[in-house]
Amino acid sequence: MDMLWNGWGDPAKAAPLPDSVTGLLRDLLGVKPVTTPALGLDDLRLPGTTADPAALEALAEAVGGDHVRTDSESRIRHTRGKSTPDLLRMRAGDFSDVPQAVVLPASHDEVLAVLRVCAQHGLAVVPFGGGTSVVGGLAPRRAAFIALDLRRMNGMLELDPVSRTAVLQPGLRAPEAEALLAEHGFTLGHFPQSFEWATIGGFAAARSSGQASAGYGRFDEMVLGLTLATPEGTLETGRAPRSAAGPDLRQLILGSEGAFGVITAVVVRIRPLPEVRLYEGWRFASFEEGAAALRRLAQDGPRPTVLRLSDETETLIGLAQPDAIGGDLAQSEAGCLAIAGYEGTAEDTAQRREQAAAVLTACGGTLVGAEPGERWAHGRFSAPYLRDALLDVGAFAETLETATFWSRVPDLYTTVRTALTETLTEAGTPPLVMCHISHVYENGASLYFTVVSAQGEDPVAHWAPAKHAANEAVLAAGGTISHHHGVGIDHRDWYVREVGPLGVAALRAVKRCLDPEGLLNPGVLLPTD
Q: Phi and psi (nearest 5°) for 480?
A: -90, 150
The CATH architecture to which 11-149 belongs is 2-Layer Sandwich (3.30)
What is the CB neighbour count within 10 angstroms for residue 264?
Answer: 24
Q: What is the torsion angle, in degrees rounded to the nearest 10, for the CA atoms of residue 463, residue 207, residue 203 and residue 268?
A: -170
Strands 306-310 and 156-160: unpaired
Q: Is 257 annotated as a binding residue?
A: yes
Q: Provide the pLDDT for residue 24.
A: 87
DSSP 235-270: EEE-SSSS--SSS-THHHHTT-TTSS-EEEEEEEE-
Tell me which of 276-290, 315-329, 374-388 is least confident. Answer: 315-329
Strands 124-128 and 145-149: parallel
Q: Is 129 annotated as a binding residue?
A: yes
Q: Phi and psi (nearest 5°) for 501?
A: -60, -40
- In angstroms, the CA 311 to CA 335 distance is 8
The answer to whether the beta carbons of residues 279 and 377 sit under 8 Å apart is yes
Percentage of the chain with pLDDT > 90? 88
DSSP 101-159: EEE---SHHHHHHHHHHHHHHT-EEEEESS---SSSTT--S-SSEEEEE-TT---EEEE
Beta bridge partners of 281: 339, 369
Q: Mean pLDDT, to the nearest integer, of 187-197? A: 97
Task: Output the CA–CA distances (angstroms, integers) from residue 456 to 148, 202, 392, 396, in the order listed.
Answer: 35, 33, 14, 9
Q: Is the pLDDT of residue 330 over 50?
A: no
Q: Mean pLDDT, to the nearest integer, of 177-181? A: 98
Strands 223-230 and 233-237: antiparallel
Q: Mean pLDDT, to the nearest integer, of 290-303? A: 97
Contacts of 111 (CB under 8 A, 6+ apart): 105, 148, 229, 262, 264
Q: Is 258 annotated as a binding residue?
A: yes
Q: Is 127 annotated as a binding residue?
A: yes
Q: Is 45 annotated as a binding residue?
A: no
Q: Provide the pLDDT for residue 18.
A: 87
Q: Mean pLDDT, to the nearest integer, of 498-525? A: 97
Q: Is 407 annotated as a binding residue?
A: no
Q: Provide the pLDDT for residue 142.
A: 81
- In angstroms, the CA 20 to CA 266 distance is 46
- CATH for the stretch 276-378: 3.30.70.3450
- In angstroms, the CA 456 to CA 41 distance is 25
* Burial of 185 (C-beta count, 10 Å sphere; 0-12/13-18/19+): exposed
Q: Which residues are catalytic?
A: 448
DSSP 404-472: EEGGGHHHHHHHHHHHHHHHHHHTT-PPEEEEEEEEE-SSEEEEEEEEEEE--SSHHHHHHHHHHHHHH
Q: How far is CA 408 from the centre of its chain?
A: 24
Q: Whose CA is closest to 2, among 89, 104, 114?
A: 104
Q: Provide the pLDDT for residue 331.
A: 45
Q: Whose CA is closest to 448, among 314, 330, 340, 321?
A: 314
Q: Provide the pLDDT for residue 329.
A: 39
Q: Whose CA is closest to 465, among 433, 411, 427?
A: 427
End-to-end CA distance of the chain: 38
* Residue 306 identity (one-letter amino acid): V
Q: Is 261 annotated as a binding residue?
A: yes
Q: Mean pLDDT, to the nearest integer, of 452-471? A: 96
Q: Provide the pLDDT for residue 281.
A: 97
What is the CB neighbour count within 10 angstroms for residue 329?
Answer: 16
pLDDT digits (tens, 9 = 90+) for 73-131: 999 999 999 999 999 999 999 998 999 999 999 999 999 999 999 999 999 999 999 99
Percentage of the chain with pLDDT > 70? 97
Check the CA dihedral 83-85-88-92 and report its sign.
Answer: negative
Q: Whose CA is closest to 521, among 68, 97, 52, 30?
A: 97
Q: What is the torsion angle, in degrees rounded to the nearest 10, for the CA atoms of residue 102, residue 109, residue 489 and residue 314?
A: 90
Q: Whose CA is closest to 421, among 466, 462, 465?
A: 466
Tell me which of 46-55, 190-199, 325-334 is least confident. Answer: 325-334
The answer to whether the beta carbons of residues 179 and 159 sit under 8 Å apart is no
| pLDDT class of 260 with cuts at 50, 70, 90 | very high
Q: Provide the pLDDT for residue 130.
A: 95
Domain coordinates in residue numbering, the chain: 11-149, 276-378
What is the CB neighbour count within 10 angstroms for residue 272?
Answer: 13
What is the CB neighbour count within 10 angstroms for residue 388?
Answer: 22
**What average pLDDT does the chain have?**
95
Q: Mean pLDDT, to the nearest integer, of 227-242? A: 96
Q: Provide the pLDDT for residue 324.
A: 58
* Residue 67 identity (one-letter amino acid): H
- In angstroms, the CA 455 to CA 504 distance is 35
Ordered strands of the 156-160 beta sheet = 156-160, 165-168, 262-269, 223-230, 233-237
Q: Is 128 annotated as a binding residue?
A: yes
Q: Is 246 annotated as a binding residue?
A: no
Q: Phi and psi (nearest 5°) for 460?
A: -65, -45
Q: Is 387 annotated as a binding residue?
A: yes
Contacts 24+ apart (CB under 8 A), 38-43: 38/6, 38/91, 39/6, 39/91, 39/92, 39/93, 41/5, 41/73, 41/76, 43/93
Q: DSSP 3-state assignment of 401?
A: strand
Q: Is the pLDDT of residue 322 over 90?
A: no
The b/e string for 496-515 (b: 16+ C-beta within 10 A; e otherwise) is bebeeeeebeebeebbeebb
* Residue 453 identity (one-letter amino acid): S
Which of the residue ranges 49-53, 308-312, 525-529 has the most confident prediction, judged by mean pLDDT? 308-312
| pLDDT class of 55 with cuts at 50, 70, 90 | very high
| pLDDT class of 323 with cuts at 50, 70, 90 | low
Q: Provide the pLDDT for residue 328.
A: 47
Q: Is the pLDDT of residue 334 over 90?
A: no
